[in-house]
Amino acid sequence: EWVIAPEGYSTNFCAGACSSDSPMHSKMNATNHAIVQTLVHLVDPKRAEEAKCAPVQLSPTKILFIDNHGNVVMRRYQDMTVQECGCL
């Protein structure tokens, strides 16, 4: 047991395809690529897959642990928790 704290944490996640109208919605944080991909998919589904829901904002997590030399270390790890999803 080398991790002291936190006891656990929620990574959160994004999943699934964006519906044909959702990338156009401002709350979905769609990239220009996702918007074009959605339009191509609507015209010809064989030419492009639907845009997918993916993380667009992540936050760091601090972890307190014991290193290989027995030292107690606190380290901040970037991009550990999904804060927001969007269409990519």
Partners of 61 in beta bridges: 77
- pLDDT of 72 above 60: yes
Q: 11 near 73, Cβ under 8 Å?
A: no
pTM over 0.75: no
| Interval 18-59: pLDDT, tens | 765 555 555 567 788 888 888 898 899 999 888 888 999 999
CATH level 3 topology of 3-87: Cystine Knot Cytokines, subunit B (2.10.90)
The percent of residues above 70 in pLDDT, for the chain, comes to 88
**At 6, is the pLDDT very low, low, confident or very high (cuts 50, 70, 90)?**
very high
The number of angstroms, rounded, from the C-alpha of 83 to the middle of its chain's C-alpha atoms is 7
